[in-house]
């Protein structure tokens, strides 16, 4: 199969977490959040390049993150104001390092620090021969309520066929690069950009534990889960 690369957008401010520092640098179970993420990706042998996309003036990464031994992690300080901009700039950086248009790229959130190597392998196995690519995702299990502006229930929505998108999301470099350029900086994930070009990404069953750390309580839960693994 073509070469696989990984991009970890890591340029956000993470203000909703309320820690006073970007959430990717908050210490959880003795390591920065993004350090857990990178260690999991580094354990996937089929990922040849791991590129971390940082904000241009990031001065914490080298200070706060202990990189896994024996595995090269590349850094590009070209992150933008949105996730889509950071990923697009990361794709440009990969291409500048020699990545081909038909190489696979796995984009993974820095704040999904509970990802396991075997889940990444599952995605690669499912998408390796696919014409489009795909993403880890979970079928929605809870009843969905639509709210009024006042915080009351306006309607109950049918959850049939609905999935919650996760990462990694795996697409070929050339089509993803073009899709993001067409979709613009506001698109919230790579699958949405690919969908806008008329293609249908593959939904690969993920795991509930692969959640994105966003609110303060997420960090407490991640701490417990990571300590339980240890």
Quick: pLDDT tens for 98-148. 999 999 999 999 999 999 999 999 999 999 999 999 999 999 999 999 999
In the prediction, which pLDDT does 16 show? 57
Q: Which residues of 29-67 are buried (b: 16+ CB within 10 A; e: fewer)?
A: bebbbbbbbbbbbbebeebebbbbbbbeebebbeebbeb
In a domain, residue 223? The reply is: yes
What CATH number corresponds to the domain at position 10? 3.90.550.10
Q: Which candidate, 119, 98, 94, 99, places its Cα nearest to that of 108?
A: 119
Is the CB of residue 110 less than 8 Å from the CB of residue 10?
Answer: yes
In a domain, residue 106? The reply is: yes
3-state secondary structure at position 56: coil
The residue segments making up the domain with residue 183 are 4-133+165-201+208-229
In the prediction, which pLDDT does 14 show? 60
pLDDT band (50, 70, 90) for residue 15: low
Average pLDDT, the chain: 95
In a domain, residue 150? The reply is: no
In a domain, residue 117? The reply is: yes
In the prediction, which pLDDT does 60 show? 95
In a domain, residue 147? The reply is: no
**Rounded alpha-carbon distances, angstroms, from residue 201 to 110, 126, 151, 165:** 22, 11, 34, 11
pTM score, whole prediction: 0.95
pLDDT at 179 over 70: yes
In a domain, residue 63? The reply is: yes
Burial degree of 208 (CB within 10 A; 0-12, 13-18, 19+)? exposed
Q: What is the number of domains present in the chain?
A: 1
In a domain, residue 160? The reply is: no
């Amino acid at each position: 199969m073509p070469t696989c690369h990984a991009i970890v957008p890591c340029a956000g401010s993470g203000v909703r977490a309320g820690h006073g520092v970007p959430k990717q640098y908050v210490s959880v179970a003795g390591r920065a959040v993004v350090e857990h993420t990178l260690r999991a990706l580094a354990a996937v042998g089929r990922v040849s390049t791991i590129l971390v996309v940082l904000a241009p003036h990031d001065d914490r990464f080298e200070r706060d993150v202990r990189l896994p031994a024996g595995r090269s992690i590349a850094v590009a300080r070209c992150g933008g104001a949105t996730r889509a901009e950071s990923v697009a700039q990361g794709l440009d950086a990969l291409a500048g390092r020699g990545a081909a248009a038909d190489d696979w790229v796995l984009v993974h959130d820095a704040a999904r620090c509970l990802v396991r190597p075997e889940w990444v392998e599952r995605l690669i196995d499912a998408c390796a021969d696919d014409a489009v690519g795909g993403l880890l995702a979970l079928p929605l299990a809870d009843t969905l309520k639509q709210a009024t502006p006042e915080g009351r229930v306006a309607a109950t929505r049918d959850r049939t066929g609905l999935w919650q998108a996760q990462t990694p999301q795996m697409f070929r470099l050339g089509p993803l690069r073009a899709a993001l350029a067409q979709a613009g900086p506001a698109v919230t994930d790579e699958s949405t950009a690919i969908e806008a070009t008329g293609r249908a990404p593959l939904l690969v069953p993920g795991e509930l534990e692969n959640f994105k750390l966003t609110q303060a309580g997420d960090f407490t839960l991640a701490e417990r889960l990571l300590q339980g693994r240890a």
